[in-house]
Amino acid sequence: MDDKRQKTQVELASAMESKGEARKLSGGGTEASTAEGETESLAEGQLMEQVCERENLQRALARVKRNKGSAGVDGMSVAELSGYLKVHWPAIRERLLAGQYQPLPVRRVEIDKPGGKDKRKLGIPCVLDRFIQQALLQVLEPIFEPTFSEFSYGFRPWRSAHQAVALAQTYIAEGRLWVVDLDLEKFFDRVNHDILMSRLANKVSDRRVLGLIRRYLQAGVLEGGLVTATEEGTPQGGPLSPILSNILLTDLDRELERRGHRFVRYADDCNIYVKSEHAGQRVKVNITRFLESRLKLKVNEAKSAVAQPWQRKFLGFSFTRGPRLRRRIASQVLTRFKQRVRELTDRNQGRALGEVIDRLALYLRGWRGYFGFCETPSVLRDLDSWIHHRLRSLVWKQWKRGRRRFAQLVRRGVNRDLAAQTAGSAHGPWRLAESKALHLALPNAYFASLGLPRLHVSPTT
């Protein structure tokens, strides 16, 4: 495995040197010259030693193990990392301190974006590089976190998507009934490396750290058996990507603050709240121009809009229209939720009810943990009823024949006449899931006893 890593490093280092990267770093390029001229630099030359401190590395290793994740291009699993470090860490540390460590390319994977039409490209670094990136993150975070905007909520300590949605709700309650919803087109794929590195160099003067981060940005992508160099972008999937995106987009935050706008940003998802459609159109034009000229980012016009908040979604939520402003789950989210539940409760999969509920419960708990933040409990109650309906339909299908259906109904307390009438019905499973007999035989408490959680939990329970 180590031979494969070293071979890949040599090949990639040669490719980068052919592009002039090695000369740029050794000859005092953008990162170094900017940092040397920055009198307020917060990290004076010894940052890599902090990265390599034992306590910092132990924290990084624990985090990588906790996050788990799949192997990168070298095939090393998280479980193998500790053993690998025991043997190879002294040499790796020496290369890091000398500014000579070369990351491996990331492994490209694609996942469906919400809605299922587009694909999100993820870059999975190898486990060792995830470990080093995590160690870097833990040193960089205290330096940059105080410089971030109070209106930025994505991937920051003690901040959450729920807080961002609540702030948006506050703006609307103040009478800002129009939102400029900006969508940055393929943001993580289009981050300009030079602009990002110049922002890093404003606070970091350790050339080794700056050089390592640039090498991570340009490590390349393995896709279809070929390694492609990355001239722009910061691949999603590694520990460094979120903080790098926040460092770059702080320019946007400061520009919005300078103009006195009410806004909230979560990673590359930014909403600006204004009092009129005309103001919104003006803001959209001006901020689009700023993003494209200053940060070299492109706004996706097809997905961006000036609209009223209840016509848009933000982090999976929208808002009700009327005198009482409430958070609600966006319609697109509800559609995806029902599609996923249909897949998990498909009557043709042949799974036992207990197995179906175990899988369903895992999904429901995670979904409720996030979307339970809504203020429309009736929607959650309706979803609970719909799920119970699907499960009754599933059980009825599994009972298959009239004789077994009759026996099961009677065994579960349904009187024989009603059981016979239901078992002999020509209606299908979905229709009969509404019947009195199935509600008696399969009450909500029965599914709860098998571990099915409810989406709506009454405050009194």
Residue 114 banded pLDDT, cuts 50, 70, 90: low
pLDDT at 237 (0 to 100)? 80
Least confident interval from 85-94, 159-168, 223-232, 448-457: 223-232
d(CA 420, CA 71): 56
- Mark out the alpha helices in 105-160 (DSSP H runs): 127-144
Are the beta carbons of 234 and 106 closer than 8 angstroms?
A: no
pLDDT at 74 (0 to 100)? 87
Residue 36 banded pLDDT, cuts 50, 70, 90: very low
Structure tokens of 461? 């329970």
DSSP state, 146? G
What would you report as the CA-atom Rg of the chain, rounded to the nearest whole angstrom?
27
pLDDT at 69 (0 to 100)? 85
Mean pLDDT along residues 324-342:
96
Structure tokens of 28? 């005092």
pLDDT at 113 (0 to 100)? 66
Mean pLDDT along residues 331-358:
93
Q: How many CB atoms lie within 10 A of CB 367?
A: 19
pLDDT at 27 (0 to 100)? 36
* pLDDT tens per residue, range 139-197: 999 999 999 999 999 999 999 999 999 999 999 999 999 999 999 988 888 899 999 99
DSSP character string of 360-420: HHHHHHHHHHHHTT-S-HHHHHHHHHHHHHHHHHHHHHHH-SHHHHHHHHHHTT--HHHHH
Mean pLDDT of all residues belonging to the chain: 87
Which pairs from 425-432 meet CB under 8 Å and 24+ separation? 429/347, 429/393, 429/394, 429/396, 429/397, 430/389, 430/393, 432/393, 432/396
Structure tokens of 280? 């919104």
Mean pLDDT along residues 98-127:
79
Q: Give Cα 460 to chain centroid, integer Å.
A: 33
Residue linked to tokens 């953008």: 30
* pLDDT tens per residue, range 9-34: 444 434 333 333 333 333 333 343 33
| 3-state secondary structure at position 426 | coil
d(CA 207, CA 26): 9
Nearest alpha carbon to residue 213 among 197, 231, 229: 197
Q: What does DSSP say about strands 317-319 and 305-307: parallel, antiparallel, or unpaired?
A: unpaired
Report the amino acid identity of residue 394: L
pLDDT at 42 (0 to 100)? 44
Q: How many CB atoms lie within 10 A of CB 220?
A: 22
Residue 323 banded pLDDT, cuts 50, 70, 90: confident
Distinct helix (H) and strand (E) counts, the chain: 21, 10
User: Rounded to the nearest 5 degrees, what angle is found at the Cα of 316, between the Cα atoms of 314 and 321?
Assistant: 65
* pLDDT tens per residue, range 222-279: 766 666 667 677 777 889 999 999 999 999 999 999 999 999 999 999 999 999 999 9
- What are the beta bridge partners of residue 274? 178
Q: What does DSSP say about strands 221-223 and 106-112: parallel, antiparallel, or unpaired?
A: parallel
pLDDT at 2 (0 to 100)? 52
Residue 399 banded pLDDT, cuts 50, 70, 90: very high
DSSP character string of 224-271: TTEEE--SS---BTBTHHHHHHHHHHHHHHHHHHHTT-EEEEETTEEE
- What are the beta bridge partners of residue 108? 123
- Across 16-50, b (16+ Cβ under 10 Å) vs e yields beeeebeebbeeebbbbebbeeeeebebeeebbeb
pLDDT above 90 covers what percent of the chain? 74
pLDDT at 349 (0 to 100)? 80
d(CA 90, CA 82): 13
* pLDDT tens per residue, range 422-443: 999 999 999 999 999 999 999 9
Report the amino acid identity of residue 228: T
